[in-house]
Homo-oligomer: A and B are copies of this chain.
Amino acid sequence: MLSVIAIQDEIAAGRTTPAAEIARSLDRIAELDAGIGAFETLADRDAAIATAAAASGPLAGVSVGIKDIFDTADLPTAYGTALYAGYRPRTDAAAVTMIRQAGASVVGKTVTTEFAFLNPSRTRNPLDPAHTPGGSSSGSAAAVAAGMVAAATGTQTGGSVIRPAAYCGVSGYKPSFRLVPTVGAKTFSWSLDTVGFFAACVADVARFAACITRRPLDVEESASPPRIGIYRSRIWNEANAEMHHALGRAAEIAANAGAEVIEIDEPDTLAAGRDCHSTIQNYEVGLAMADDFLRFGDSMSKILREAIASGRAIPPADYDKARATARRARKAATALFHTVDVLLTPSATSAAPAGLASTGSPIFNKLWTLTGNPCVNVTGLANPAGLPLGVQVVARFGADRAALSAADWLERAIRAA
């Protein structure tokens, strides 16, 4: 895979140039993407290389794939649906501007599922093309995993960053809610939609996020071992035996490396928070995409059409009740971090499922999307077939650097074990 930090270091040492790095990314895409299908559209090669040659900023030479749910003025934006074929927004989404302002190069738009919901895309998992890469940020996770780009953007409303990162064996980072603006990304659910990022490893995704947000998010390598709570949620049995084993192994490695590891039971308020996620999501998409539904509903996938229709039928009082439940869950989530620095939970129910008929289940992600806590997928564990089993580090709301630093610590411990 391409590494953000390695590219920065090599450029600083004079061993490569931003233009050469962008050319390398585009070469890799030309070579590999026919078998993966991670890209929807590509930037013009000559223009992208010329722009990179002139780029300044800390991410000059860093190739980025932009999930095609974000508006771009210079590339078509289709939100994963033929309904928006040929759509050309006037301006870039805020996150895209942040990326360009940091000197990085947008080399293409990556495949998203239809409006970033559950209907699968054509993208294949680079680690085994017979398996799904997950969704909805399918192309972004696959593009990083295949070494075609150094970083990519995603959005998570249920589990659309952490889950594809886990399935593809890359680092995925879902920041605290609204750390990165969603302006210019197609709205599904304004209380849940969260911008996230993919890169090869935790230190890379942290560096990328630090450079574009201008926030101190770089991992603290000298940090002492974190206090880790193994979060045994009510949905524990939704994970398969391989995932149970992986989480146990991660806990064992962490303890052996000096971390304090304790078990944390799920409070009722957090289980209730998970249960109200779909009410909030569907009510909001019923309003946010009402006009899309009325104009194009007949051409939408059944799963999306039914989600929007169900949301339109939810009485406002039920939505208000769900929002109150969510507020209580956010408070309860903060209280969890009185005794531990981070929680460790599965990133998904299993390794990437076989087939492209489903993008897998977001059930281990949606609670943390609702509460807004920062989450990082940690790679390094795998099932007997060699497919990654991702585990998820969760930190207190706003403690993004703690989440990234603990995830980096764990990733290094797993590598060393």
Q: Measuring CB to CB, which residues of chain A are less than 8 angstroms from any residue of chain B?
A: 73, 84, 87, 90-94, 96-98, 101, 178, 181-184, 187, 190, 213-215, 284, 287-288, 290-292, 294-295, 315-316, 320, 398
Q: Report the bound CA distance from A213 to B178 in whole Å.
A: 26
In the bound complex, residues from chain B placing their C-beta under 8 Å from that of A87 are 90
In the bound complex, residues from chain B placing their C-beta under 8 Å from that of A93 are 291
Q: Report the bound CA distance from A90 to B178 in whole Å.
A: 26
Q: A91-B291, A97-B294 are in contact. Are A215 and B84 (CB under 8 A)?
A: no
In the bound complex, residues from chain B placing their C-beta under 8 Å from that of A84 are 90
Q: Report the bound CA distance from A13 to B187 in whole Å.
A: 41
Indicate which residue in B92, B183, B291 contacts A73 across the interface (CB closer than 8 Å). B291
Chain B: which residue is nearest A179 at the CB level? Answer: B316
Q: Taking the nearest CB of chain B, how far is it from the CB of A290, in angstroms?
A: 4
Q: Report the bound CA distance from A120 to B315 in whole Å.
A: 40
Some 28 contacts from A to B, beta carbons below 8 A apart, are A73-B291, A73-B295, A87-B90, A91-B292, A91-B295, A92-B291, A93-B291, A94-B287, A94-B288, A96-B291, A97-B287, A97-B290, A97-B294, A98-B290, A101-B290, A178-B190, A181-B190, A181-B287, A181-B288, A182-B190, A183-B187, A183-B190, A183-B287, A184-B291, A213-B316, A214-B315, A214-B316, A320-B398
Work out how many copies of this chain go into the complex: 2
Chain B: which residue is nearest A292 at the CB level? Answer: B91
In the bound complex, residues from chain B placing their C-beta under 8 Å from that of A182 are 190
Q: Taking the nearest CB of chain B, how far is it from the CB of A391, in angstroms?
A: 29
Q: Taking the nearest CB of chain B, how far is it from the CB of A92, in angstroms?
A: 4
Interface centre among A96, A183, A213, A215 (most CB of B within 10 A): A183
Q: Report the bound CA distance from A190 to B73 in whole Å.
A: 21
Q: Report the bound CA distance from A87 to B92 in whole Å.
A: 15
Q: Taking the nearest CB of chain B, how far is it from the CB of A372, in angstroms?
A: 13
Interface centre among A93, A94, A184 (most CB of B within 10 A): A94
Indicate which residue in B183, B284, B316 contacts A181 across the interface (CB closer than 8 Å). B284
Q: Is the CB of A316 within 8 A of B215?
A: yes
Q: Report the bound CA distance from A96 to B315 in whole Å.
A: 19
Q: Report the bound CA distance from A185 to B11 in whole Å.
A: 42
Of all A-B residue pairs in the complex, the 8 with the closest CB atoms, nearest first, are A91-B291, A97-B290, A92-B291, A97-B291, A183-B288, A183-B187, A94-B287, A215-B316
In the bound complex, residues from chain B placing their C-beta under 8 Å from that of A73 are 291, 295
Q: Report the bound CA distance from A284 to B181 in whole Å.
A: 8
Chain B: which residue is nearest A320 at the CB level? Answer: B398
Q: Report the bound CA distance from A214 to B187 in whole Å.
A: 22
In the bound complex, residues from chain B placing their C-beta under 8 Å from that of A94 are 287-288, 290-291
Interface centre among A91, A94, A290, A398 (most CB of B within 10 A): A290
Q: Report the bound CA distance from A187 to B190 in whole Å.
A: 13
Q: Report the bound CA distance from A182 to B193 in whole Å.
A: 14
Q: Taking the nearest CB of chain B, how far is it from the CB of A395, in angstroms?
A: 16
Q: Taking the nearest CB of chain B, how far is it from the CB of A72, in angstroms?
A: 10
In the bound complex, residues from chain B placing their C-beta under 8 Å from that of A316 are 213-215
Interface centre among A91, A178, A190 (most CB of B within 10 A): A91
In the bound complex, residues from chain B placing their C-beta under 8 Å from that of A181 are 190, 284, 287-288
Interface centre among A90, A98, A181, A284 (most CB of B within 10 A): A90
In the bound complex, residues from chain B placing their C-beta under 8 Å from that of A320 are 398
Q: Report the bound CA distance from A39 to B129 in whole Å.
A: 56
In the bound complex, residues from chain B placing their C-beta under 8 Å from that of A291 are 73, 91-94, 96-97, 184
In the bound complex, residues from chain B placing their C-beta under 8 Å from that of A97 are 287, 290-291, 294
